[in-house]
Amino acid sequence: MRLIPIGVSGSFPGPATPASSYVVRVPAAEAAAAGYAARDWNVLLDLGNGAFGALQRFMDPMELDAVSISHLHPDHCADLSGLYVYLRYHPERGSLRTGPRDAPLPVYGPSTAERHVALSYGLSEGESMDNDFAFRSWAEHPSVQVGPLTIEPHRVFHPVETYGVRVTGPSVSGGMTTLAYTGDTDACPSVVELARGVDLLLSEAAFLEGRDDGVEPGIHLTGRRAGQVATDAGAHRLLLTHLPVWNDPADSLAEARGAYAGPVDVAEPGTVYEL
């Protein structure tokens, strides 16, 4: 299993990276060894502002097998509109030319995702995205199987309906491996359970200790709180993400290392992390 960050900027795109988006990929050889079709399997975690353009540097969007949306703030879902245009209007493979897909792309997310994306795109009355997207609520799907990948949502602590996800799939070294992605959250019991024993915890860390102490709880983790989640959960590795442009990554790293003794880094867009 591979994790490929597409965008890692917190709250809005930065000058060097789009907002949150991550590809989880099982290469063909590993999929075949696990008893699945010998092709690359790709699940996209979030698709924030600017991320759809960057995604095309790493894969053909037609090859996505599923999309998981943590919540409906624009830095996590705005570019679903661009993906919809690609799937519908592509001059050779778009559904407008080829007809309805046998299997529209599954999009898992909060309960109001379908309406939210339709309004964001500006669908005309009577139009539908049903030929291209199959919206499914995480609240109704405690676990889903996408080829060799198992995805489990966990409701986390943010002002809107938000889900972190655990993704389990074949390891590069044989056996199985698990990644947890927090989405946006503050510290809470459910984010610790989300991260329990994972091989890699991909955790947001948008806030800093001291600077953001006056902000109401239930919005973001700091580097220290992300490190404490990793420690409490027994995560094997910590990767910080969702740092806004005004954060110095060194500060977030220092906070995390003060609370977590394991390996910790800041996610870099385009880097391939093997699990």
For the residues 162-166, what does the mean pLDDT come to? 98
Indicate whether 50 pLDDT > 90.
Answer: yes
pLDDT value of position 269:
97
Indicate whether 167 pLDDT > 80.
Answer: yes
HSE of 270, CA atoms in CB hemisphere, 13 A = 7
CA distance 32 to 38: 5
pLDDT value of position 76:
98
For the residues 39-47, what does the mean pLDDT come to? 98
Q: DSSP E strands: which ranges in the chain?
A: 2-7, 21-26, 41-47, 66-68, 105-109, 133-137, 144-146, 149-155, 163-170, 176-181, 200-204, 238-241, 264-266, 273-274
CA distance 216 to 197: 29
Tokens linked to 29: 């050889």
Q: Read off φ and ψ for residue 85, nearest 5 degrees.
A: -60, -45
pLDDT tens sequence across 58-75: 999 999 999 999 999 999
CA distance 50 to 9: 10
Closest CA to 23 of 49, 41, 36, 38: 41
Indicate whether 254 pLDDT > 90.
Answer: yes
3-state secondary structure 179-193: EEECCCCECCHHHHH
Mean pLDDT, the chain, whole residue set: 96
CA distance 86 to 119: 18
For the residues 178-188, what does the mean pLDDT come to? 98
Higher pLDDT among residues 242 and 93, named by residue: 242
CA distance 60 to 205: 30
Indicate whether 171 pLDDT > 80.
Answer: yes
Indicate whether 136 pLDDT > 90.
Answer: yes
SS3 54: helix
- Percent of the chain residues topping a pLDDT of 70: 100
pLDDT tens sequence across 77-125: 999 999 999 999 999 888 888 877 778 999 999 999 999 999 999 998 8
Sheet holding 144-146, edge to edge: 144-146, 149-155, 163-170, 176-181, 200-204, 238-241, 264-266
pLDDT value of position 94:
86
For the residues 131-157, what does the mean pLDDT come to? 97
CA distance 173 to 84: 36
- Percent of the chain residues topping a pLDDT of 90: 93
For the residues 221-249, what does the mean pLDDT come to? 98
pLDDT tens sequence across 195-208: 999 999 999 999 99
